[in-house]
């Protein structure tokens, strides 16, 4: 009788250990969950937070058209300024200049010059129709500026890397002749050409 009691006790102890062991195994399996995914791996978004444009005279020269000399005339104007399309970064980043200039183009509604492109450094020929008088012949472009931000997901999808900076480019070429005795809006090419060349 004493022998049978010992055998039952042993079996019960084995059962208890088996159940306890199973519970411990279950807890251990859930102790280290995988890191949560915050974003889609390697995905990147760029946006312009602000943009502006200014008419910029890059070539200009004064000419006097004598009485009887009006009509369609051609004159050569010299370089008075330049613009270089570029992108600046607030920190080390993997955002490409091409992507940022592309976003600037989309934001301002025109295709602007690629990063690294410069306005023409040699003289320009301007052909316009004028009457006699004193003129500032000019050539220029619109200069565009923008501030940008970027968010990029790392390769594991666990962290978003943010960066920002600015961009400068140009587009929309224009030329003409501003009469020195005339008045123009201060934002116009003509006004700016007068200031430079008249």
Residue 156 lies in a domain: yes
48 in the same domain as 28: no
Residue 129 lies in a domain: yes
Residue 67 lies in a domain: yes
* pTM, rounded to two decimals: 0.77
Count of alpha carbons within 13 Å of 109, Cβ hemisphere only?
2
Cβ pair 136, 13 in contact under 8 A: no
The reported pLDDT for the residue numbered 34 is: 59
The reported pLDDT for the residue numbered 26 is: 43
The reported pLDDT for the residue numbered 35 is: 66
64 in the same domain as 7: no
110 in the same domain as 49: yes
CB burial readout 14-39, b (16+ within 10 A) else e: eeeeeeeeeeeeeeeeeeeeeeeeeb
90 in the same domain as 140: yes
Residue with structure tokens 């500026």? Answer: 145
26 in the same domain as 116: no
The reported pLDDT for the residue numbered 41 is: 85
The reported pLDDT for the residue numbered 43 is: 87
Q: How many structural domains comprise the chain?
A: 2
The reported pLDDT for the residue numbered 70 is: 85
Residues of the chain with pLDDT under 70: 1-35
Average pLDDT of the chain, as a whole number? 85
The reported pLDDT for the residue numbered 33 is: 56
What's the token pair of residue 144? Answer: 């565009």
97 in the same domain as 62: yes
76 in the same domain as 14: no
Residue 5 lies in a domain: yes
55 in the same domain as 24: no
Residue 105 lies in a domain: yes
> Domain of 112?
44-197
């Amino acid at each position: 009788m004493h022998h049978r009691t010992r055998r039952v006790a042993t079996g019960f102890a084995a059962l208890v250990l088996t159940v306890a062991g199973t519970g411990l195994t279950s807890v251990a399996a859930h102790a280290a969950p995988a890191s949560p995914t915050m974003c889609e791996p390697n995905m990147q978004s760029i946006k312009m937070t602000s943009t502006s444009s200014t008419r910029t005279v890059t070539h200009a020269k004064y000419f006097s058209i004598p009485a009887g000399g009006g009509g369609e005339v051609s004159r050569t104007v010299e370089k008075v300024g330049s613009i270089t399309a570029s992108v600046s970064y607030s920190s080390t980043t993997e955002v490409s200049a091409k992507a940022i200039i592309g976003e600037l183009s989309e934001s301002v509604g025109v295709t602007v010059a690629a990063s690294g492109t410069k306005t023409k450094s040699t003289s320009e020929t301007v052909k316009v129709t004028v009457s006699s008088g004193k003129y500032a012949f000019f050539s220029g472009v619109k200069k565009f500026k923008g501030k940008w931000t970027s968010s990029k997901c790392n390769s594991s999808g666990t962290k978003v890397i943010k960066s920002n900076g600015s961009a400068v480019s140009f587009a929309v070429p224009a030329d003409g002749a501003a009469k020195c005795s005339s008045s123009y809006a201060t934002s116009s090419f003509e006004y700016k050409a007068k200031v430079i060349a008249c």
